[in-house]
Structure 1
Amino acid sequence: MITFADGSLNPIQSGNFPPALESQAITFVHLDSAMLLDQVACSSNSEAALFRVCSRYESSLSLTHAKGYLGVGLERLYDLQGEARGRGRCRELVLRSEGGMVLPGADPGSLCRARFLIPIMQLYTLYIDQKDNLRYLGHQGRENPENQPIAAGAGKISFSQLHSQVGVFSLQAVLELNSGKQLSFWSFSHIARRPVINLILNL
């Protein structure tokens, strides 16, 4: 079952290509820390917040492909969606927090507590649908703008947490194909790398 961070169902559950009941799913977030944005000023109303931000590292910014922003405050993290205005190293961002796959929504009056923002460049879930297709489900806020098949004949995918004696956390992903072949991936940082996706595409 694919749900938002607040526990409500993602629309994919009742839409096209719903997930198979016996298959697990996992969501990945790719942040671009090189485009870290420092808050210079912020004001909010009952619906959204207007951020004035400047890049900490880059002389110019390209936020066209950002799927949203992770706001970092002293007390919590914020899932922020909206639009960017202007050009150059400093920008204005009109942002809301309705919640999504990773974090629940926040009251608009609290959004200015985010001291810096990190662009979210990719946010997606890997799952197997009811026709045994491994799928890439892209997210933006509470919407799913992209849903693409990666491989057919993928019977089941499951995940388990592993802990070593020295306290190192890792994640094992097991992909079971209808052909009987089984693929295992260790550590969730590996499963979304391009070579692994290319391997699946060429099975």
Structure 2
Amino acid sequence: MIIGYARVSSSSQSLEVQHEHLTASGCVKIFAEKRSGRSVEGREALGDAIDFVRDGDVLAVTRLDRLARSVVDLHRLIERLTTKGCGFRVIQQSGIDTTTSTGKLTLSILGAVAEFEADIRRDRQRDGIERAKANGVYRGRQPSIDTARIGTLMAAGIPPATIAREMGVGRASVYRHLNKLSVDCRHDMTPAP
């Protein structure tokens, strides 16, 4: 039996095209989710798909990056499938099929190339940010939490959990900003030499 797995990174993207390709390739059941592919952590549909497959089944995806973006994650997932006696196939990259020796080799090579490309992309992005910072153009992400408001609410005696709820942020964010405020206050109170 062929089991499909579809994934897109954001909720605004559609899974429809992947569903069509997986169905056309003979998938009898498709697990799908809208989650980042940077890690396999937190990808419940992927875990469900791997739990679902049985000896002799094949897990199929449309493209390799739908399953994993790092060679380490890719090999761990393939090892889990192999341990269960299952194969793995990439529909739009026809050379990748772990039910064949050539497919296993192709998978290893493409996985390494994909990770290499991701590393290069990350390095270029880091270089661009450093260059922009040096030119005074890059300011970083704008703060998403109004720290002054947190300070005002705390001064009014409102507990951090209530502040978090009212502002629509996590408690950890409130505490992090409170710690920053207290450190800044201590620096302001340090006597001049």
TM-score relative to the length of structure 1: 0.22
Normalized per residue, the structure richer in strand is: 1
TM-score relative to the length of structure 2: 0.23
Normalized per residue, the structure richer in helix is: 2
Higher Rg of the two aligned structures:
2
